[in-house]
């Protein structure tokens, strides 16, 4: 029953002196007041369902586009290349063959996974902007945040699949399944950061070469930031270029510590604890939210005309 019908019924009961007691008046007024609340709840539920449906549609379309493209063949060739190089190095080593094979295979597999996920996200975002597909999607009755979340979920699924394929060459040389699983979980968290940052860069920078250069600069700084911190501490201790230490400390507040993710020594030595993986997942989630917030701000300023 809608709100106008209940209001008409309330007026009819008042006209017929049906509400003569205070309790009857209170029940009727509570019923009338609860109607907008119920309507608001129903509207929010329907809006959430519409939002989820839109994000799911965008994610499915993005995954279909990736599967029809070169993602699978790039990932498969990358895994075969990592396996071939690890086997070659394993055969050349005279001692510690397993450790040397892992020392080459693990960093190479991580680098290949980062390149594949970043190129997929950058290429998809830049292509949608250049072809005008993004403007058509934003002109549809769909929230821009829903579109962005759908894109990120699709690239996160690609990151998980990419990590699952590229971890296969590592399994042959890993000493224990626990260390392999920890390395795999950490690679997923790192690729989530890569996907979110690549998506944000792809929306801001339309040209793919410039977007790739921007991402490479970000990833290099995030990976080598601990080295810059050591150099800054050394210069500060000798009272030389003290401004460099301040600059590096400011950079640590902006860039994530990707050198703590997907470490090769986990495969060579003891596996990390659950607390370490959870902290890395928390850091990855926070930075993904920051990157998606930046992308959402850029989408909000984008005009359809």
Q: What is the 3-state secondary structure (H, E, C) of the chain?
A: CCHHHHHHHHHHHHHCCCCCCHHHHHHHHHHHHHHHHHHHHHHHHHHHHHHHHHHHHHHHHHHHHHHHCCHHHHHHHHHHHHHHHHHHHHHHCCCCHHHHHHHHHHHHHHHHHHHHHHHHHHHHHHHHHHHCHHHHHHHCCCCHHHHHHHHHHHHHHHHHHHHHHHCHHHHCCCCCHHHHHHHHHHHHHHHHHHHHHHHHHHHHCCCHHHHHHHHHHHHHHHHHHHHHHHHHHHHHHCCCCHHHHHHHHHHHCCCCCHHHCCCCHHHHCCCCCHHHHHHHHHHHHHHHHHHHHHHHHHHHHCCCC
pLDDT, residue 161, reads 94
Does residue 105 contact residue 82 with C-beta atoms inside 8 Å? yes
What whole-number distance in Å separates Cα of residue 121 and Cα of residue 156? 10
Closest CA to 275 of 290, 292, 260: 260
Query: What are the two backbone dihedrals, phi and then psi, of residue 298, each rounded to the nearest 5 degrees?
Result: -70, -35
pLDDT, residue 304, reads 55
pLDDT, residue 164, reads 93
pLDDT, residue 113, reads 94
Structural domain boundaries in the chain? 1-61, 69-301
What whole-number distance in Å separates Cα of residue 267 and Cα of residue 14? 79
Does residue 291 contact residue 143 with C-beta atoms inside 8 Å? no
pLDDT, residue 102, reads 82
pLDDT (tens place) for every residue of the chain, 305 residues total: 444 544 444 444 444 444 445 455 445 444 544 444 444 443 444 456 777 888 888 888 889 888 888 888 999 999 999 888 888 887 777 677 777 878 888 889 999 999 999 999 998 888 877 777 766 766 666 777 888 898 999 999 999 999 999 999 888 777 788 888 989 999 999 999 999 999 989 888 878 888 889 898 888 888 877 777 676 666 555 455 566 666 766 666 677 888 888 888 888 877 788 888 899 999 899 999 999 998 888 877 766 55
pLDDT, residue 155, reads 93
pLDDT, residue 19, reads 44
Does residue 192 contact residue 159 with C-beta atoms inside 8 Å? yes
């Amino acid at each position: 029953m809608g709100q106008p019908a209940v209001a008409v019924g309330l007026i009819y009961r008042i006209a017929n002196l049906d509400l003569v007691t205070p309790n009857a008046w209170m029940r009727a007024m509570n019923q009338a007041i609860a109607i907008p609340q119920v309507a608001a709840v129903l509207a929010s539920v329907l809006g959430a369902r519409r939002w989820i449906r839109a994000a799911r549609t965008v994610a499915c379309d993005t995954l279909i586009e990736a599967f029809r493209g070169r993602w699978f063949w790039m990932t498969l060739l990358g895994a075969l290349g990592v396996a071939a190089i690890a086997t070659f190095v394993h055969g050349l080593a005279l001692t510690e063959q397993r450790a040397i094979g892992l020392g080459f295979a693990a960093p190479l597999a991580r680098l290949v996974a980062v390149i594949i996920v970043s190129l997929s996200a950058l290429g998809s975002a830049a292509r949608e902007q250049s072809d005008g597909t993004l403007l058509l999607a934003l002109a549809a009755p769909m929230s821009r945040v829903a579109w962005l979340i759908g894109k990120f979920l699709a690239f996160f699924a690609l990151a998980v699949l990419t990590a699952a394929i590229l971890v296969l060459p590592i399994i042959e040389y890993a000493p224990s399944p626990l260390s392999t699983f920890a390395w795999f979980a950490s690679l997923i968290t790192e690729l989530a950061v890569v996907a979110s940052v690549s998506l944000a860069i792809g929306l801001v920078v339309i040209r793919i070469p410039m977007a790739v250069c921007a991402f490479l600069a970000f990833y290099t700084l995030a990976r080598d930031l601990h080295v810059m911190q050591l150099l800054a501490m050394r210069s500060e201790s000798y009272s030389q270029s003290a401004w460099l230490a301040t600059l590096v400390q400011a950079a640590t507040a902006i860039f994530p510590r990707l050198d703590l993710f997907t470490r090769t020594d986990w495969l060579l030595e003891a596996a990390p604890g659950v607390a370490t993986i959870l902290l890395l997942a928390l850091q990855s989630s926070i930075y993904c939210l920051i990157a998606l917030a930046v992308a959402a701000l850029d989408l909000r300023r984008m005009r359809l005309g």
